[in-house]
Amino acid sequence: MKNYKYLLTLLVFGLAIVGCSDLEEDARSQLEPDERLVDLQTVETTVAGAYANTAARAFLSRALGLTLMLRSDMVAIGNPTTAPERIENDQFTVSSTNPLILNPSNPERSFWPRMYQMIRGANETLRELDQLDEQDAGVKEEIAGRARFLRAFAYYHLVRLFGDVPYLDETTSTIDASVAPRESVDIVYENIIADLEYAKEWLPDTRTNRALPGKAAAGAYLASVYLTRQNYQAAYTEATDVINNAGRYNIALDPDYRNIFHSELSDFSLEPIFIIDFVGTNINDESRDYLAAFTGFYGQQTYYASGGWSVMVPSLAVFNTWDDGDYRKDVNFDDEAVIDNMGTVIPFTQFSSVDGRNANRPHIAKYTAMAGDTPQANTSGRDSNSNYQLMRYAEVLLIAAEAAVELGNTSEADGYINMIRERARNGNGTGAPSAVPADISGATIDDVLEERRLELAFEHKRWYDIVRRRLGNEVFGPNGLEGAKNFDPNRDYLLPIPPLEITNNPNLEQNPGY
In this predicted model, what pLDDT tens digit does every residue of 101-139 receive, in sequence order? 999 999 999 999 999 999 999 999 999 999 998 877 799
pLDDT of the residue at 410: 98
In 184-318, the DSSP E strands lie at 272-277, 312-313
Collapsed DSSP state (helix, strand, coil) of residue 430: coil
* pLDDT tens-place string over residues 405-432: 999 999 999 999 999 999 999 999 999 9
pLDDT of the residue at 377: 57
First to last CA, the chain: 44
Residues 56, 285: Cα–Cα separation, whole Å: 9
Average pLDDT per consecutive 10 residues, the chain (514 residues; last block may be shorter)? 36 34 33 66 96 96 97 97 97 97 95 98 96 86 98 98 98 93 98 98 96 98 98 98 98 98 92 92 82 93 88 97 98 95 94 96 94 70 91 98 98 98 97 96 98 98 98 97 96 98 96 97
Collapsed DSSP state (helix, strand, coil) of residue 93: coil
pTM: 0.93
pLDDT of the residue at 18: 32
List the one residue out of 228, 161, 162, 238 whose CA is nearest residue 196: 238
Residues 316, 121: Cα–Cα separation, whole Å: 42
Residue 224 and residue 149 in contact, taking contact as beta carbons nearer than 8 Å: no
**If 0-12 CB within 10 Å is exposed, 13-18 middle and 19+ buried, where does residue 10 land?**
middle
CA angle 235, 239, 243 (to 5 degrees): 165
Residue 139: CB atoms within 10 A of its CB come to: 15
pLDDT of the residue at 371: 85
Q: How far is CA 158 from each of CA 123, 154, 248, 372, 464, rounded to the nearest angstrom?
A: 16, 6, 32, 32, 12
Beta bridge partner(s), residue 334: 363
pLDDT of the residue at 378: 64
